[in-house]
Amino acid sequence: MKKENLFISDLHIAWDKPEITQRFLRFLDNRAIKASALYVLGDLFDAWVGDDDSSPPNPKIRESLKRLTESGTKIYFQQGNRDFLLGDRFCDATGIILLDDPVVIDLFGVPTLLMHGDLLCTDDLPYQEFRSKSRSPEWQQGVLSKPLFVRLLAARWYRIRSYFHKRKKTQEIMDVNQGTVTDMMAKFNCLRLIHGHTHRPNIHNFEINGKPAQRYVLAAWTKDKGEALVWDENGCHVEVV
């Protein structure tokens, strides 16, 4: 009987990182198949330029996800800041289910807030401006109407640009804003939050209106190691993939 819920994020799969792709495919076939649900909290892909992109390793990933959903494991996907163009066509092809960001789920009786995490980094004003612009249907239609090769070239350019931008920003600006975290959790009436994005895996304990609260930050995958947060009715633990 499948019972566990698995949480992963920030694999940043790309054609030039075959180790991560291989680890993810093995994880789907051997580990996730034993779980009742797999939650992917964004940035599964390092760049997603549209569901019509069938360059490697996308076809293999599509097939494995489909095999897994057909086996009975539910796959929920929250878009990250790198793969927010992933859409209905990919979902139809794989059977995965898109979640809003933020969204509240019932995790073994406890309301749990799930986010990619970029919305919590409110100290990074230029990014938040780009985020709201790029989530509008007009912006997305404008991008998706361009030929695939143009979008692929643009994605390469953005990867390079983002690398240099990140080096210029301070560590504080790139992390979550604690005030935003508390506001968001209070707004959704949750004392538990799970997110990725910051690549700073940890469990933070704090209080919201005098009640104990937890923030679980998922790890990014590297070529040497992946991590999944595993939840069952007895609690949770981190598993190395």
Residue 234: CA atoms inside 13 Å, Cβ hemisphere, count?
A: 1
- Residue bearing tokens 């983002």: 162
* C-beta closer to Mn ion: residue 62 or 200: 200
The nearest distance, CB 183 to Mn ion, in angstroms, is 20
9 three-class SS: coil
Q: What interhelical angle do 58-70 and 18-26 show, nearest 10?
A: 10
The nearest distance, CB 10 to Mn ion, in angstroms, is 6
Positive/negative CA dihedral, 134, 192, 25, 67: negative
* C-beta closer to Mn ion: residue 42 or 73: 42
Instruction: For residue 201, give every residue at least 6 positions away whose Cβ sits within 8 Å of its Cβ, in sequence order, or none.
Output: 217, 218, 219, 220, 227, 238
Spatial CA neighbour of 66 closest among 96, 88, 89, 27: 96
* C-beta closer to Mn ion: residue 73 or 81: 81
- Residue bearing tokens 């230029």: 126
The nearest distance, CB 233 to Mn ion, in angstroms, is 30
d(CA 70, CA 86): 20
The nearest distance, CB 173 to Mn ion, in angstroms, is 14
Rg over alpha carbons for the chain, rounded to the nearest Å, is: 18
Shortest-Cβ-distance residue relative to Mn ion: 197
Instruction: For residue 105, give every residue at least 6 positions away whose Cβ sits within 8 Å of its Cβ, in sequence order, or none.
Output: 39, 111, 112, 114
Binding site for Mn ion (CB under 5 A): 43, 80-81, 197
* C-beta closer to Mn ion: residue 43 or 101: 43
* C-beta closer to Mn ion: residue 43 or 175: 43
The nearest distance, CB 12 to Mn ion, in angstroms, is 8
The nearest distance, CB 199 to Mn ion, in angstroms, is 8
* C-beta closer to Mn ion: residue 4 or 199: 199
